[in-house]
Amino acid sequence: MSAANGQAGLKSEDRLARFALSPARRRRDRLARGSVLAGTAIAVLPLLVIVYYLLRKGLGAWSVSFFTTDPTGNTFFGSSGIGGIKSAILGTIEIVALASAIAVPLGVGVAVWLVEYGRVSWLARTVRFFVDVLTGVPSIVFGLFVYIVLIVGTGSTYAGYKGSVALALLMLPIVIRSAEVILLLVPSALRESALALGAPRWRVIARVVLPTALPGMLTGVLLAVARAAGETAPLLFTAAYTMKTGFGLGGFMNSLPVQIYKDVTSPTTSVEHRAWGAALTLVAMILLLNTIARLIARRSRLA
């Protein structure tokens, strides 16, 4: 303002005034920046609180025997007798590993078909629609489905692998959708230049498209794995709850989420503490898996 009203001779000052930042704009800028920052803080806060409580309550439950013993079911003699979460850790690892072994190749295969072959065809659009529907299905419905088909339907009982099937169904749409998005990001120029070399399409996909998409796909797969590893509902009436360590996926199998569920609902304080320890263990396992996978992806990209 003052610069604009200055003497006519001060031309450089006039020019400066033309580009001066007005106070109103400065205020609006501050307001916008502030609200975005506040939103970020609000979003991050619960996360920090969760991590804080997990560490504070969970670390106290950790000990060597916590990881090496099974829950005893004995809650009458304080924290020493209740046992650890060995069966739950092993169960979660085995069930989720089998579920991933089913869902990841299948899901990536569907995504490859959708992006490379089906494209905009009627069938591809239909598949996409059903995958979207599947994404929205509550996890307990997958458990119910497996319960009806594999347990009631076969007249048999709970088993670890049945839990894996339920989790695989849950993972499938997540894997398909994330892999599809990543495959669509692979520049079509790469496909074209590989095809122009006289390479059959399947080789182009296997040697050029998939390696390029690998790091991104890994993120989607890990998301699905983390989601599956934390699910309780589909396991409750497919893999069941058991205290004993079961190595075979054919028998009853414990898992971390189910163990947490059982422990939290227990009236005994020491058992409740075990739930915090188990929760921290679950988070730590997923974090570890994430880190390892990212290291592998980084290495394979350079190679």
Partner 1 sequence: MTSPRPTAEVVDVDAESHTELDREDQRSQEAGSQPASEYASPRIISPRTASTPLSSDAALEAKPGPSVRLERLRAFYGESEQVKGIDLEFRANEVTAIIGPSGCGKSTMVRCINRMHEEIPGARAQGRVLLEDVDVYGPSVDVVAVRRAVGMVFQKPNPFPTMSIFDNVAAGPRLSAGRRGDVRATVEAALRDAGLWEEVADRLDAPGAGLSGGQQQRLCIARSLAVDPEVILMDEPCSALDPIATLKIEELIDQLKTRVTIVIVTHNMQQAARVADRTAFMLDGRLVEVGPTQDIFTNPSDPRTEEYVTGKFG
Interactions with partner 1, residue window 210-229 (CB under 8 A): 211-212, 214
Among 50, 190, 287, 295, binds partner 1 (CB under 8 A): 190
Nearer to partner 1, 179 or 283 (CB): 179
Q: What DSSP character marks residue 4? A: T
Nearer to partner 1, 269 or 300 (CB): 300
The CA-based angle 140-141-145, given to 5 degrees, is 120
Side chain identity at residue 183, one-letter code: L
Q: List, in order, residues 6 or more apart from 270 with CB less than 8 Å away.
A: 75, 78, 79, 82
Closest approach of Cβ 187 to partner 1, in Å? 7
**Rounded to 5 degrees, what are φ and ψ at 236?**
-55, -45
Nearer to partner 1, 289 or 293 (CB): 293
Q: Based on the shown chain and the rule CB under 8 A, indicate whether residue 122 belongs to the binding site for partner 1.
A: no
The CA-based angle 185-114-124, given to 5 degrees, is 130
Q: Based on the shown chain and the rule CB under 8 A, indicate whether residue 298 belongs to the binding site for partner 1.
A: no
Closest by CA to 88, choosing from 102, 63, 69, is 69
Among 7, 9, 120, 299, binds partner 1 (CB under 8 A): 120
Q: Based on the shown chain and the rule CB under 8 A, indicate whether residue 207 belongs to the binding site for partner 1.
A: yes
Q: Based on the shown chain and the rule CB under 8 A, indicate whether residue 194 belongs to the binding site for partner 1.
A: yes
Nearer to partner 1, 29 or 192 (CB): 192
Q: Based on the shown chain and the rule CB under 8 A, indicate whether residue 184 belongs to the binding site for partner 1.
A: no
Closest approach of Cβ 219 to partner 1, in Å? 17
Closest approach of Cβ 207 to partner 1, in Å? 6
Say how many residues make up the chain.
303
Among 27, 30, 33, 301, binds partner 1 (CB under 8 A): 301
Q: Is 181 exposed, middle or buried (0-12, 13-18, 19+ CB in 10 A)?
A: middle
Among 13, 29, 132, 192, binds partner 1 (CB under 8 A): 192
Among 187, 284, 288, 298, binds partner 1 (CB under 8 A): 187
Nearer to partner 1, 215 or 230 (CB): 215
User: What are 266's two structure tokens?
Assistant: 């227990």
Nearer to partner 1, 40 or 121 (CB): 121
Cα torsion 30, 31, 35, 41: sign: positive
Strands (E), the chain: none
Among 42, 189, 267, 299, binds partner 1 (CB under 8 A): 189
Sketch the per residue contact string, 68 through 107, with partner 1: x for CB under 8 A, - otherwise: ----------------------------------------
Q: List, in order, residues 6 or more apart from 245 with CB less than 8 Å away.
A: 70, 86, 87, 90, 254
Side chain identity at residue 46, one-letter code: P
CA dist 19 and 25 (Å) reads 12
CA dist 245 and 32 (Å) reads 55
Question: Which residues in this chain contact partner 1 in the complex, by CB under 8 A?
Answer: 119-120, 187, 189-200, 203-204, 207-208, 211-212, 214, 301-302
